[in-house]
């Protein structure tokens, strides 16, 4: 697998974390993708399959807007696959016209077939500059959540906009499909495994405090609920590895 990340155009850096590409040779390996608190706008050439909870594999369409993950996503490829994506910070609401995305996909597909993805990336960047995320009052709330890595109470978020907690929860569900509490959990989880990758020897008690958990036990339980293993075990396995779209290989399908 060949994975690469690219710094976005300066005009996109407020809401696009990076652009990335993957060239995957034929393989039966199942990959596990960990929640990172981001949204993916994905274009694919080849069969990119998502493994359902019952073990069945369903194609991920191209284009696809992959919303905020609340658990580990398992994927595999069927044959050679080339992917191009923009990783979006959750600071706005993707409301792009599906017809426009399909039109962009038809232009990107032949470019993905080329060994050099620069033309495809340039086309995607230009399109994103012309189609920014909807930035409104909800975007302000989302940015506050992101900047605090989820470590802020729902009541405080609601109070900033003079809303009730129930009103804010309804807005999140209607426009994002996730509650503010669950988004906070995902953002804290993403921050925790990112820190552990870079500093596997960090004190878990200190990290728990930084992320707003009441104690290390609470942090360990929350991490295990999303990641399936303890933060210390995660650090032992993956510590000091580079950030990758595909976090871990599991057994073959």
Distance CA 102, CA 104 (A): 5
Distance CA 30, CA 33 (A): 10
Radius of gyration of the chain, Cα coordinates, nearest whole angstrom: 19
Contact (CB, 8 A) for 37 and 6: no
Please give the CATH superfamily to which domain 137-238 belongs. Answer: Homeodomain-like (1.10.10.60)
Tell me the pLDDT tens digit for each residue of 48-92: 778 777 778 888 899 999 888 878 888 887 888 899 999 998 887
Tell me the pLDDT tens digit for each residue of 3-52: 899 999 999 988 899 999 988 887 777 888 888 888 899 999 988 778 77
**Domain coordinates of the chain in residue numbers?**
2-133, 137-238
Please give the CATH superfamily to which domain 2-133 belongs. Answer: Jelly Rolls (2.60.120.10)
Per-residue confidence band for 159, with pLDDT thresholds at 50, 70 and 90 = very high
Question: Which residues make beta-bridge pairs with 31?
Answer: 75, 249
């Amino acid at each position: 697998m060949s994975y690469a990340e690219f710094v976005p155009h300066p005009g996109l850096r407020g809401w696009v974390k990076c652009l990335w590409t993957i060239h995957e040779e034929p393989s039966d390996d199942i990959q596990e993708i960990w929640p990172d608190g981001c949204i993916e706008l994905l274009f694919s050439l080849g069969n990119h399959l998502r493994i359902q909870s019952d073990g069945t594999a369903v194609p991920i369409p191209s284009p696809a807007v992959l919303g905020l993950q609340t658990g580990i996503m398992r994927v595999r490829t069927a044959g050679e696959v080339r992917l191009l994506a923009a990783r979006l910070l959750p600071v706005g609401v993707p409301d792009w016209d599906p017809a426009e995305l399909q039109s962009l996909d038809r232009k990107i597909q032949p470019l993905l077939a080329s060994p050099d993805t620069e033309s495809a990336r340039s086309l995607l960047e230009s399109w994103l500059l012309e189609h920014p995320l909807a930035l409104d009052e909800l975007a302000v709330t989302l940015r506050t959540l992101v900047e605090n890595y989820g470590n802020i109470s729902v009541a405080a978020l609601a109070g900033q906009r003079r809303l009730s907690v129930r009103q804010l929860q309804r807005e999140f569900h209607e426009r994002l499909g996730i509650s503010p509490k669950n988004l906070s959990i995902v953002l804290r989880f993403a921050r925790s495994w990112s820190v552990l990758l870079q500093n596997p020897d960090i004190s878990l008690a200190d990290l728990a405090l930084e992320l707003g958990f009441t104690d290390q036990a609470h942090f360990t339980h929350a991490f295990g609920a999303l990641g399936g293993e303890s933060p210390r075990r995660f650090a032992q396995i993956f510590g000091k590895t580079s950030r990758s779209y595909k976090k871990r290989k599991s057994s073959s399908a």
